[in-house]
Chains A and B, each alone.
Chain A
Amino acid sequence: SQELEQSPQSLIVQEGKNLTINCTSSKTLYGLYWYKQKYGEGLIFLMMLQKGGEEKSHEKITAKLDEKKQQSSLHITASQPSHAGIYLCGAVGGADGLTFGKGTHLIIQP
């Protein structure tokens, strides 16, 4: 079965600083999703990557999928308090249900 490992598990960043979250898969990724979750709430879709080398950006968040399609990174530029939360990477596993990593807890310090 596919496993996704996220690093770091938690991250404390000063407001305005850049940061990167990584997601590594045990198998080739055929679709990699990034979601954000606020504590105790549902998941908010951020971006989806499919092709090796693909890169997508939305506002100050950029996600990349490596050429081998086994690793993805999420980069936030000039972090803001609104970026705080749990970031989850998910991949299409069996039966189209997503397999998720454990998440990265991001705290933004003012």
Chain B
Amino acid sequence: DTGVSQDPRHKITKRGQNVTFRCDPISEHNRLYWYRQTLGQGPEFLTYFQNEAQLEKSRLLSDRFSAERPKGSFSTLEIQRTEQGDSAMYLCASSLGTGPSYEQYFGPGTRLTVT
């Protein structure tokens, strides 16, 4: 078990460009979450998947954001037409099941800088 992995670890992009991040969860985990963390704040929930189904989206997830989890394995988060306000750490987490009894394991994050 290698834990949750994310790629890339860092991304610098110019405003208006599109970016895509990848998350590989722990292999047997059917739940996958995306969070965003800005400086000095705790992570904020964006969206989550139960297998391949995207079940919930936060109001923070604007139309420029899209997430997929084909085949219920890895997930991608795409941001279109990036804005400076999108600069943040994007964290992925996975869990074995639903509800408060199942801890979420986080990846190392992808730090996005929009110039």
Q: Give the interface of A toward B (CB within 8 A).
A: 4, 30-31, 33, 35, 40-45, 48, 50, 88, 90, 92-103
With A35-B106, A96-B98 known to touch, is A102 a contact of B45 (CB < 8 Å)? no
With A33-B103, A92-B100, A97-B45 known to touch, is A42 a contact of B109 (CB < 8 Å)? yes
| 14 A-B residue pairs with CB within 8 Å | A40-B111, A41-B109, A90-B43, A95-B55, A96-B98, A97-B35, A97-B56, A98-B35, A98-B45, A99-B45, A101-B42, A102-B41, A103-B40, A103-B41
With A92-B99, A96-B31, A96-B98 known to touch, is A33 a contact of B104 (CB < 8 Å)? yes
Tell me if A97 and B58 are in contact (CB < 8 A): yes
Please give me the residue from chain A that is nearest to B108 by CB atom: A42
Closest chain-A Cβ to B37's Cβ sits at a distance in Å of: 8
Please give me the residue from chain A that is nearest to B110 by CB atom: A42
Please give me the residue from chain B that is nearest to A89 by CB atom: B42
Expressed in whole angstroms, the Cα–Cα distance for A3 and B82 within the complex equals 29
